[in-house]
Amino acid sequence: RLRALNRLQVIFQHLKMSKQTDSAAEVLLEKKGGAGIITLNRPKALNALNLPMIQKIYPQIKTWEQDPETFLIIIKGTGGKAFCAGGDIRAITEAGKVGDKLIQDFFIGEYRLNNAIGTCKKPYVALIDGITMGGGVGVSVHGHFRVATEKTVFAMPETAIGLFPDVGGGYFLPRLSGKIGYYLALTGCRLKGRDVLRAGIATHFVESEKLPALEKDLIALKSPSKEKIADLLNSYHMKCTIDQEKEFALDEHMDKINSLFSANSMEEIVKKLKQDGSPFAMKQLETINKMSPTSLKLTLRQLREGASMSLQEVLRMEYRLSQACMKGHDFYEGVRAVLIDKDQSPKWKPAALEEVSDEFVDNCFKPLGNDDLKL
């Protein structure tokens, strides 16, 4: 009887699956061979994550993690332009304006998903082909393997919209070599193609048009271990010669990045950039001057503290920050200027770094008691 029951469960599971693979669904969840495959399917929105997608992906990862017949999890995006361009910022903005619960639910759901990926016992392979920003980084960077292509564009552009590089940015960014993570977080600098690998964000680099073949080979692996998966990814990686000769775009600036972005405060970083006076430093200064002063201060502290925290501690801290931003001014103003009116001239409040008090920053990091994120 048990066997019959198990068979029924399997059939139900398959029925559930086939229902979910209807191509109008915003996320497709399917099982092929020993692989669980997550396909982000909002190509018109560059596969931006919304709450219903998050609520489908999370339990599915948990199910596959427990399933002895699932050996690895693959995540990818449709449409050829983006893996995932971020979280559904517009929906959050609308919710925040009217005090809707979505401003809690979205971040709770998203950070729990980031944690599920970061702690997943099954090998997790993210095919980060195309635009990979914000929330898209959150559903890829915490997994075991991240495969970039010549089309990959990575960025954490949150300081430009009055937010901070969340989704565990406080965990992975300060762990990149030197001060690259601080530089990427504060300036929103974009990395392209092989540079995403060289910065330590991707683990492998494969030609975009080879991804379907790679996926097929991953699915065909017989009860694969992490080592077998790594070997397969390495073999594709070794064969890819695109931009092999090209130097890492940040190479010539690394010494400056490491010294200029190692200051203890935003004011000090700005002072160092001014004193340096090189074209590179001036360009960074110009960029930083456009960002939300509040976001810059929150971000610098987030990374400095996150450097010695576990992923879970970081996500708890980031949830506190997310709720502080939802109560503030700059997030709504940033989204208005960058995404809605697109006039690109946000009026930040406060408008200068000096006006963002330490007391205000401290308050953003304070525990929320019963409302803290539970992982």
Q: Which residues are catalytic?
A: 87, 135, 158, 166
Query: Under 8 Å CB-to-CB from 76, ≥6 apart: which residues?
Result: 37, 38, 39, 40, 83, 126, 127, 129, 211, 215
Identify residue 301 by its one-letter amino acid code. R
Tokens of 83: 């893996």
Nearest alpha-carbon partner for 71 in 7, 147, 9, 125: 125
Residue with tokens 């979205």: 106
Rounded to 5 degrees, φ, ψ at 35 are -110, 135
- 281 vs 287: CA distance, rounded Å: 10
- Is residue 99 left, alpha or beta, with left meaning phi > 0 and alpha meaning psi from -120 to 50? left
Question: Where does residue 326 rank: exposed (0-12), middle (13-18), buried (19+ CB within 10 A)?
Answer: buried
- 328 vs 315: CA distance, rounded Å: 20
Dihedral (C-alpha) 350, 133, 87, 342: value to the nearest 10 degrees?
50
- 19 vs 313: CA distance, rounded Å: 37
- 182 vs 148: CA distance, rounded Å: 21
Helices (H), the chain: 2-20, 51-66, 89-97, 102-118, 135-138, 169-172, 180-187, 194-198, 211-220, 226-239, 254-260, 266-276, 279-290, 293-306, 311-327, 330-335, 358-364
Tokens of 234: 């390495």
Question: Where does residue 243 rank: exposed (0-12), middle (13-18), buried (19+ CB within 10 A)?
Answer: middle
- 39 vs 77: CA distance, rounded Å: 5
